[in-house]
Amino acid sequence: AALSYGHGAWNGTVKLYYDAGTFDWLQWDTTAEESLRSLTDSTNYGIRWRETVAPWTGGELVLGLDNDLYGGQFVERRPTVDQPATDLTFRNTAPYAMLSHSFGGSDTVTPSVGVRYNDSRYFGSEWGGQAGVTVGFSNHSVYANWAHAFNLPGVYAAVQYGGWGLGDRWQELEAETVDHLEVGWLAPLGRQWRLDLSLYRDDVENAIRFVAPPPPPPSYANVGAYTVDGVELTLQGELGSHWSLFVGGTYNDADPATVPNLPEITAVGGLTWTSNPGWRVNLDVQWVDERYILNPRFVSGEVRVGSYFLANAKATLPWRLLGLDADGGIFLSGDNLTGEDYEYRPGYPMPGTTF
């Protein structure tokens, strides 16, 4: 449920949300040669408030508060003995503020600064912040920004520590932190094309890593630290009156090179054709380099998974071409059209071609 309101220079939103789910996952334990059921009852709810005001000409002040509660119950039912049940509700309360001001007329300089404070029920308090400046001239924009952010341990740690017989020791984990630096250029290329280029650096401390035996039991620990230097490039525009094109790619240089879930190179592309009557055909492709992953489900350390290429397509016929006065249409879509054999984790193959 959301409420939006405005009065003079003030504009705001308040949103209340609630979701709950029940999951019953039937599995097979190859070691114990027995079936088991993972039963989860989750409940998440909270409030989001955000207020925007122009305190003076060219200025903008954003104020807000996020209050989120999430968690539930988990138990692993076995024919012999149940895994110890976990029943927890996490809470994060985070007020934040950001102030920006735009100087100039046709050419503009806009500095901004923001701060966020987060109080966690189980992990104490953390500060986040950001600062940046954008310069606009002749339809070009160049920018530079810095952000300090954090990532708290989640419900997964509490549930797995219960199964590993470690009790509440997950509360000893600390937040991951990241300092992100970025500079970029947004440039028009003629009337119909746009180029976006950004250079960035991430400096991560206290990254949470899965620690595999020996000695048992497994655990998590704040033992990860790494840096990533990267570049991202995108190009989009029109090819005549019926075609539009998008291409993009990233390159990441990580130290150490075994940072989980971080491919060195990724590339994407999309092509759209629209006919005068309204037929629409979309084609998109994606290529992701090989990368390392951590696999706590199989209590192993870092393993490498291969690269993959995906091609997907979708054709849409608007309802109005069928004589119906309605928005929307009927479509046929196909995913993984080349039948690529790929997986995100070893032992979890993804679907082949689907329609």
pLDDT tens-place string over residues 142-183: 999 999 999 999 888 998 898 888 989 999 999 999 999 999
pLDDT the model gives residue 300: 64
Burial category of 44 from C-beta neighbours within 10 Å (exposed 0-12, middle 13-18, buried 19 and up): middle
Distance CA 232, CA 263 (A): 13
Measure the CA–CA gap between 197 and 131, rounded to whole angstroms.
Answer: 19
Each residue's pLDDT tens digit, 38-76:
999 999 999 999 999 999 999 999 999 999 999 999 998
Residue corresponding to tokens 């840096």:
227
Per DSSP (E only), the strands in the chain are 2-7, 10-29, 34-53, 59-77, 86-101, 103-104, 108-120, 124-137, 140-151, 176-189, 193-211, 219-239, 243-255, 265-274, 280-288, 291-295, 300-305, 308-318, 329-334
Asked whether the bond before 55 is cis by omega within 30 degrees of 0, the reply is no
Confidence band of 251 (pLDDT split at 50, 70, 90): very high
Could you tell me the pTM of the whole model?
Answer: 0.84
Question: Average pLDDT, whole number, for the chain?
Answer: 93
Q: What is the DSSP letter of 260?
A: B
Asked whether 210 and 297 are in contact (CB, 8 A), the reply is: no
